[in-house]
Amino acid sequence: AQKVTQAQTEISVVEKEDVTLDCVYETRDTTYYLFWYKQPPSGELVFLIRRNSFDEQNEISGRYSWNFQKSTSSFNFTITASQVVDSAVYFCALSEIDGGSQGNLIFGKGTKLSVKP
Amino acid sequence: DGGITQSPKYLFRKEGQNVTLSCEQNLNHDAMYWYRQDPGQGLRLIYYSQIVNDFQKGDIAEGYSVSREKKESFPLTVTSAQKNPTAFYLCASSILNSNSPLHFGNGTRLTVT
């Protein structure tokens, strides 16, 4: 069965600190996609990144970086030099490429990040 | 600006009443979805639709109903059969391509007393 675990329920950091949000997934499929979404206090989820299971290259986008390791079934998200605007709930999600219902992402329970000035 | 509009943002109902949540998108997306979010929980799929006049049950469809009469609109009705309807409801849409990112609305917070 597919499963996404975000073990960190809440994280609090001081501005300018680096922070890593953990995501561990379970799937029997060899082909799948992983996602990260950000949910600010306004409520909508904002897409951050999608990574397919064949691409293990790490990715950097500004202060954001993602570390995908198939060997440990992890897709961790690091924010460098955090800012107050990074405060949000962050969700990791998993979906199969060919199977299942489209949009049936399996979401983790989210990690609430609070960045204090 | 293209996007997804959910209305209202807050909704209050008495137990036993049906209530309909609105979701409209102008992104020309074929696929639309409804998710439910409970405190400290991830999102769970209620219903989704890939084409007008067709929709499929998600993981927690019991007590909910939907319609897809227009491409732009995908309203969700929370019926009195839903035992625990108080939650945050999120509508999303995407292009009809497996695993394309979802675009979400701002959500509707439903409180049933």
Q: Which residues of chain A have pLDDT under 50?
A: 99-101
Say which residue the tokens 């732009």 belong to: B72
Any A CB within 8 A of B18 CB: no
Q: Residue A53 has which token pair? A: 């299971």
Percent of chain A with pLDDT over 90: 71
Q: Which segments within chain B are labelled E, that is strand?
A: 4-7, 10-13, 19-25, 31-37, 43-51, 54-57, 64-66, 76-78, 87-94, 103-104, 108-112
Q: What is the pLDDT of residues B51-92, one digit of tens each?
A: 999 999 998 999 999 999 999 999 999 998 898 999 999 999
Any A CB within 8 A of B31 CB: yes
Any A CB within 8 A of B46 CB: no
Cβ within 8 Å, pair A47-B105: no
Residues A63, A79: Cα–Cα separation, whole Å: 6
Cβ within 8 Å, pair B33-A35: no
Q: What is the pLDDT of residues B10-62, one digit of tens each?
A: 999 999 999 999 999 999 999 999 999 998 888 999 999 999 999 999 989 99
Q: Residue B42: which of A98, A102, A108 has the nearest Cβ? A: A108
Residues A64, A60: Cα–Cα separation, whole Å: 6
